[in-house]
Amino acid sequence: MISQEFDYTVATSLSEAVGLLQKHGDKAKLLAGGHSLIPMMKLRLATPGLLIDIGRLPELTYINEEGGTIRIGALTTHQLIETSEVLNRRCRSLAEAAGLIGDIQVRNKGTIAGSIAHADPAADYPATLLAFDASIVALGPKGERTIPASQFFVDMMTTALQANEIVREIRITPRSGKAGSAYLKMAQKASGFAICGASANVELDGSGAIGSVSIGITGVANRAFRATETEKALIGQKPSATLLRSACEKASNGVTALEDIHASADYRLDLARIYARRALEKALERVS
């Protein structure tokens, strides 16, 4: 469990880091919390020639609420997200997802941007960011661009980021009406990653019908996805046990599921249905 030799440099600003990425190309890797990268390096699955440490840029740790939008700095740790007053009030499922990552030592070091840029198909955040229709602000040589979460997660360990782009911020505009959210997961017992994680957001309209609903599911397929058929079956309907059950039966329709020693594809597909419904039930309980 010893990595190969590599060079290491500390970036003093994000734009310097972008410049270094530009200069060194494929052989460089960004180091933030290091909780995905360093284990891969120790297993020699990742062998970067240069680590660019951005983990010391204090200006990238923040959770700000401005107008209706919450901005989360790239280096904000899982622990800060888990315990944030703002997020627990307005984006409960995101705080919940953060609290289910690894253990307290991991949460103290690991960062939200590090996690999403790594794009492990069983990571917790993607389900929640999809359900919130979050956007990801990336900084590159040509400046900033905003990528919707729905376009950000491309495939297993693959995002829409260019090799010379760095995640700078995550933006969420949660519903302000009678809304609730929840994240639930079945963890793989060894790694703690999701065999299935479901994140549900729901908002009721004045009549008590479902005005908006979104469900993100992680751990099941090569990337997190939205349960769009379920969402369609719910929209405009009054929530009832029967409705939730029948709608969530469609949660993994058309999905090609992962299969490994920890769970079969069929099991993952069924867990998606079960966890979608349970997350939805919990989100409805939390509607205020």
Partner 1 sequence: MKYVGQAIKRKEDPRLISGSSTYVDDIALPGMLHMAVARSIYAHARIKRIDISRATRLPGVHSIVTGEEIASKCGPIPVAGEIPKMKKPVMHLLALGKVIYVGQPIAAVVASDKYIARDAADLIEIEYEPLPAVTNPEKALQPGSPVIHEQYSDNQAYTFGFETGNTEEAFKTADVVVKERFINQRLAPISMETRGAVATMQMPENELVIWSSTQIPHLLKTQLAVMVGVPENRARVITPEVGGGFGSKLNVYAEEGLVAYLAMKTGHPVKWIEGRRENIASTIHGRDQINDVELALKKDGTILGMRAKVVADIGAYYQLLTAIIPQLTGLLAPGAYRVPAFKFDLVSAFTNKMATDAYRGAGRPEATYLIERIMDVAAQKLKLDPAEIRRKNFPKPSEFPFQTSGGVVYDSANYEAALDKALNIADYAGLRRKQAEMRKQGKYMGIGLSSYVEICAMGPSVAMPAGGWESATVRIDPTAKVTVLTGASPHGQGQETSFAQIIADQFGITMEDVFVQHGDTARIPYGIGTFGSRATAVGGTAMYNAGQKLREKMQKLAGHILQVNPEKIVFEDGKIIAKDGSGKSMGFGEVVTQAYIARQLPPGMEPGLEATNFFEPSNFTFPFGTHVCVVQIDEETGEPKITKYVAVDDCGNVINPLLVEGQVHGGIVQGIAQALYEEVVYDENGQLLTGSLMDYALPRAHDLPMFELDRTVTPSPVNPLGVKGVGEAGTIGSTPAVVNAIVDALSPLGITHVDMPVRAEKVWKILKGRKAS
Residues that bind partner 1 (CB under 8 A): 1-2, 4-5, 39, 43-44, 186, 188-191, 261-264, 267, 270-271, 274
β-strand 69-73 against 63-66: which pairing, if any? antiparallel
Q: Which is nearer to partner 1, 91 or 187 (CB)?
A: 187
Q: Which is nearer to partner 1, 109 or 185 (CB)?
A: 185
Contacts for 89 with CB less than 8 Å, ≥ 6 apart: none
C-alpha 232/C-alpha 72 separation (Å) is 30
C-alpha 88/C-alpha 224 separation (Å) is 22
Task: Please report how close the Cβ of residue 264 comes to partner 1 at its closest, in angstroms.
Answer: 7
If 0-12 CB within 10 Å is exposed, 13-18 middle and 19+ buried, where does residue 144 land? exposed
Q: Which is nearer to partner 1, 57 or 215 (CB)?
A: 215
Q: Which is nearer to partner 1, 144 or 285 (CB)?
A: 285
Task: Please report how close the Cβ of residue 137 comes to partner 1 at its closest, in angstroms.
Answer: 31
Task: Please report how close the Cβ of residue 229 comes to partner 1 at its closest, in angstroms.
Answer: 20
Q: Which is nearer to partner 1, 11 or 184 (CB)?
A: 184
Task: Please report how close the Cβ of residue 147 comes to partner 1 at its closest, in angstroms.
Answer: 29
Task: Please report how close the Cβ of residue 31 comes to partner 1 at its closest, in angstroms.
Answer: 18
Q: Which is nearer to partner 1, 1 or 67 (CB)?
A: 1
Among 151, 186, 191, 193, residue whose Cα is nearest residue 278 = 186
Among 187, 181, 230, residue whose Cα is nearest residue 204 = 181
Among 194, 226, 198, residue whose Cα is nearest residue 101 = 194
SS3 64: strand
Q: Which is nearer to partner 1, 66 or 190 (CB)?
A: 190
Task: Please report how close the Cβ of residue 273 comes to partner 1 at its closest, in angstroms.
Answer: 9
Task: Please report how close the Cβ of residue 2 comes to partner 1 at its closest, in angstroms.
Answer: 4
Contacts for 116 with CB less than 8 Å, ≥ 6 apart: 123, 125, 126, 129, 136, 152, 153, 159, 167, 170
Measured on CA atoms in the order 205, 210, 212, 213, is the torsion positive or negative? positive
**Residues forming a β-bridge with 167:** 138
